[in-house]
Amino acid sequence: MTEQSIPLGKAGKTPGMGRTLARRLEYGLVILCLLALAAIFQPFSKLVYGIGSGLIIFAGLAFNLMPFCDPAKPITAVYRTAIIVAVVFIVVSLLAIGSAELYGVYLRHSR
């Protein structure tokens, strides 16, 4: 496997985030997903299962950052994508909670 050189910017710094940071982000995302799966499939504690259930949703959304863990891409692309994923998650969560609440109101008034 050959490594390609990254062209240097004007100030002599690499334009991307660097190989070390990109690799740490990749490994961190994979480890987060594996920990979430281990928490879900463990047979000992319901509390750990509940934490794992929330963590698997977070890990699944965070895994959308994986294509941006490239040494040639700037870290601002990762930040921007993380903000977009967080906003989408919040909007979808609010819509789901709101629709469940409105359905509860409908059921109370239909009796």
**Mind listing the pLDDT tens digit for each residue in 45-75?**
999 999 998 888 888 888 888 888 888 888 8
Burial class (CB in 10 A: 0-12, 13-18, 19+), 14: middle
- Would you kindly state where each structural domain of the chain is located, as residue ranges? 19-109
By the 8 A CB rule, do 6 and 71 touch? yes
Q: Do 39 and 51 meet the contact criterion of CB atoms below 8 Å apart?
A: yes
pTM: predicted TM-score of the whole model, two decimal places: 0.67
How many other CB atoms are there within 10 angstroms of residue 22's CB atom? 19
How far is 47 from 42, CA to CA, in rounded Å?
11
Find where tokens 């967080």 sit: 86
At 106, is the pLDDT very low, low, confident or very high (cuts 50, 70, 90)?
very high
User: What pLDDT score was predicted for residue 34?
Assistant: 95
